[in-house]
Amino acid sequence: MKLSTIREILDATVLSGEEHLDREVLAACGSDFMSDVLAYVKDQALLLTGLVNPQVVRTAEMLDMKCIVFVRGKTPDESILKLAQARDIVVMRSPRRMYDACGLLYLNGLRGD
């Protein structure tokens, strides 16, 4: 699924990496526990999370993820966005809650693995 489609489905605002919305992700993962993300992720290139801090970007970086969606309208600060930009990771913000955001993507065919 293209990042531009994900933006539409989640009614999301792109906070950084607007130029990369044609990128494809094949699977996604949603969690507020970074160690869980690190434990179970294989090739999920999209991370949905309600946690807002630099370690979210670090975790995505270690796993070669392409995009982070902050759910529940949470807004990362400038330092977090800079970190993501430097690593070429797209950042979006969605007003949807975690359960709904994951459900909507799943419904539209984006699976967990």
Partner 1 sequence: MEPIKLTYHVEGGDLIGAGEASSKMKMALKKLDLPQETIRRAAICMYEGEINMVIHADGGRAEVEIAMDHITIRMIDSGPGIPDVDQAMEEGFSTAGEIARDLGFGAGMGLPNMKRYSDEMKIDTTLGVGTTVTMRFNL
Where on the chain is the footprint of partner 1 (CB under 8 A)?
Answer: 32-39, 49, 51, 53-56, 58-59, 61-64, 79, 87
| R_g of the chain, CA atoms, integer Å | 12
Least separation, in Å, of the C-beta of 98 and partner 1?
A: 14
Nearest residue (CB) to partner 1, 7 versus 102: 102
Q: How far is CA 54 from the centre of its chain?
A: 13
Given a contact cutoff of 8 angstroms between Cβ atoms, the answer to whether 68 and 57 are in contact is: yes
Length of the chain: 113
Nearest residue (CB) to partner 1, 78 versus 109: 78
As a whole number of angstroms, the distance between CA 19 and CA 34 comes to: 27
Least separation, in Å, of the C-beta of 56 and partner 1?
A: 7
Least separation, in Å, of the C-beta of 72 and partner 1?
A: 15
Q: At what angle do helices 54-62 and 78-86 cross, to 10 degrees?
A: 10
Least separation, in Å, of the C-beta of 97 and partner 1?
A: 18
Nearest residue (CB) to partner 1, 79 versus 108: 79
Given a contact cutoff of 8 angstroms between Cβ atoms, the answer to whether 27 and 45 are in contact is: yes
Nearest residue (CB) to partner 1, 55 versus 108: 55
